[in-house]
Structure formats: structure tokens, C-alpha cells
A and B are shown apart, each in its own frame.
Chain A
Amino acid sequence: AQKITQTQPGMFVQEKEAVTLDCTYDTSDPSYGLFWYKQPSSGEMIFLIYQGSYDQQNATEGRYSLNFQKARKSANLVISASQLGDSAMYFCAMREGPNTGNQFYFGTGTSLTVIP
């Protein structure tokens, strides 16, 4: 089974609108962390936001927020007030806890295009 699933290969959003990028995960480890990375055309990976499995509140970082629904095993990224510079590839990732070797898994990514 896929550890991280991103079902949206491509998304479009109007500038200044909000957009949600979906991510579901699969793990039996009670301790895990969820990440979102942005990868612009240059290829670098930019860390955006992190959510720990024991965190009670949803993580927020500026215009980024993570809609963490533990029971559904989903960790959707919400980008508010989209900007043209947000156009990029976005990867959801999960790191499992020490019981399972701290393995790191990435999703296949979602390509976001912001339309002016």
C-alpha cells in the first residue's frame, strides 16, 4: 500500500484564491510526522510546514496551514491568498517513528498552477 497518496497530479487556482492540496497517509506507527515541501522549477525542495502526530492543533506557517484529520489519516495543505510565485510542485511526506526506523516517504506530488 502507498504510504503517502496525493491524488491530484495537477491543480489550478486563481490568484488571490485559496487552494487545498490533498494528502492521505498510511501508517500503523503511533508516532509520525507529516511534511509539505514545495519544489519550484529549479528543482530544489523547500520545506513548508510540519505536523506531528501528537500535535493537538493544526500547524500554520504564514499563508500555509495543514488541515490535519488524524482519524481520516489526511493532511491536506491549504494555501490562502495564492500568489503567482506559488506555482510549483508540492510534495507531501511522512516520517515514521523510531519503531519503524524513521523511514521517510514522499507522495508523487501535485503540480499547482496559479492563474493571474
Chain B
Amino acid sequence: GAVVSQHPSRVICKSGTSVKIECRSLDFQATTMFWYRQFPKKSLMLMATSNEGSKATYEQGVEKDKFLINHASLTLSTLTVTSAHPEDSSFYICSARDNRDQPQHFGDGTRLSIL
């Protein structure tokens, strides 16, 4: 079946550093990729949607300069958390889909901890 690989699965870093999270589709072309953030005991929050070759569409309240998303190829999207602070600590999940008729396939997520 379709597999989405997300890397790293866990990262711990100091406040002020930038962290890049990769999301790869392994056996299908991910025309669209989605980035979610999960808050404790709450549902996933959609942060942004990216289509290959286009600028990402950010949800209201999500700082585009803070969370840089690049979707340069049909198999790879990256989320860079710039100048990370403790409040950015969270579980980030990417998902991807081939086309509009297909369900999203989720990555395993990245646990980000900012000290």
C-alpha cells in the first residue's frame, strides 16, 4: 500500500534553532501534501496545504514565516520551523495524496521538543 515516510520521528533541540522535517511519499506521486500539528487531547490542526511546484496555502493563524513549507518535487515536502521556541513543541504530522479521489496517507509524525 501507499507509504508516507516522515523524518525525523523525534527531535530535541535548543530554543532559537531551526528544525527541518521531511515528508516523502514512497510509492506514489504526492501531488498534494498537508501538514498538521497535534495538540494534547485535541484533534489535528491543519497548518498548511502544499501542491507540488506551488506556494503553500497556510491556514488562518499559522505564521508562514515561522513555518516554512517547500514542496519542490512530487515525492518530497519539507516543513522548517524557524527560530523554534518551547511553545513550538508539538507533534507534527504530514500527509499526502495522489489525486483528489484518493484518501490521504499520513506519515508517522515528528515529535518536536524545544528546550
- Residues of A whose CB lies within 8 Å of any CB of B are 33, 35, 37, 42-47, 50, 91, 95, 98, 102, 104, 106-109
Contacts and interface: CB of A to CB of B under 8 A. Distances in A.
B67 interface: no
Chain B: number of interface residues, binned into ranges: 10 to 19
Contact of A108 (B43, B95, B108): B43
Contacts of A102: 32, 100
A33 B103 contact: yes
Contacts of A37: 106
B58 interface: no
A44 B93 CA distance: 8
Nearest to B32: A102
Contacts of B95: 45
Nearest to A45: B106
Among A35, A50, A106, chain B packs the most CB atoms within 10 A around the CB of A106
B104 interface: yes
A47 B43 contact: no
B100 A43 contact: no
B43 A104 contact: no
B91 interface: yes
Contacts of B38: 43
A47 B97 CA distance: 12
Given A43-B109, A46-B106, A47-B105, 9 more contacts: A43-B38, A44-B93, A44-B107, A44-B109, A47-B103, A95-B103, A102-B100, A106-B43, A106-B46
- Rank and list the top 9 A-B pairs by shortest CB-CB distance, nearest first: A45-B106, A44-B108, A106-B43, A43-B109, A108-B43, A106-B44, A50-B103, A43-B91, A109-B43
Contacts of B43: 91, 106-109
Nearest to A107: B43
A16 B46 CA distance: 35
A46 B107 CA distance: 9
B103 A44 contact: no
B104 A104 contact: yes
A33 B97 CA distance: 14
Given A98-B100, A102-B100, A104-B34, A43 B106 contact: no
